[in-house]
Structure 1
Amino acid sequence: MKVITYRNFCKNPKHYLDQVTENLEPLTIARKNHRNAVLMSAETYHNMRENQYVLENSANRGWLQESLNQAHQGQTIQHNLIQ
């Protein structure tokens, strides 16, 4: 994750806003004598929250783990897509 100073962020906020929305990569803004902040696109944020919601449920985690185990063991089925 890229880190910039608050001062540099203030010089060109549009550049950094464009950067996080185009690259979908969060940006840490370091502040002197204050806690740092993280800037991220709304898309990245919503994806993170959705993952958190899914993984908070133990039944979902179990289902996902079972699917991963099946994939690692080659227990997959290939389907042709309808066009």
Structure 2
Amino acid sequence: MQVVSLTEARNNLKAVFDAAYNDHEDVIIHRKGNENVVVISFDEYNSMKEMQYLFSSQKNKDRLLRSLNDARDGKTSEKELLE
């Protein structure tokens, strides 16, 4: 995570965007006397929105978390795919 001032972000906007996109780095722009903002890549934004959607249903959230815990605990099985 990188924190820059608004002036620094304004003077180095391409570098801020490159850090967010190329390095997958969250860049916090500190705005003195105002709320801070975060610059992230569009891919990262889409990923966050997808997670928000998947977790918006409690039933789906529970199922996903249960599956994740099962995988972590080694409770997996192989399935043969039909061609």
Given the two structures, how large is their TM-score scaled by the length of structure 1?
0.84
Q: Please state how far the C-alpha of 1:29 moved relative to its aligned partner.
A: 0.2
Unmatched segments (≥5 aa) in structure 1: none
Distance, in Å, in 2 between the alignment partners of 1:53 and 1:28 is: 25
How far apart, in 1, do the equivalents of 2:52 and 2:13 lie? Answer: 29
Task: Tell me if the contact between 1:9 and 1:29 (Cα under 8 Å) persists in the aligned partners.
Answer: yes
Calculate percent identity across the aligned residue pairs. 32
Partner Cα separation in structure 1 for residue 72 and residue 9 of structure 2: 44
> Structure 2 counterpart of 1:54, which letter?
L
What amino acid is aligned across from residue 63 of structure 1 in structure 2? R
**Mapped partners of 2:22, 2:36: distance in 1:** 22
Aligned partners of 1:72, 1:18: CA distance in 2, in Å? 34
Q: Extract structure 1 runs of 4+ deviating beyond 3 A.
A: 78-81
Structure 2: give runs of 5+ residues left out of the alignment.
none
Between Structure 1 and Structure 2, how many residues are aligned?
81
Tell me the residue number matched to 1:21. 21
Provide the alpha-carbon RMSD of the alignment.
1.8
Deviations 1:27-73 (A, max 9, x none): 10001111111111101111001101101111111111221232233
CA 14–80 in structure 1, closer or farther in 2 if over 3 Å, else same:
farther
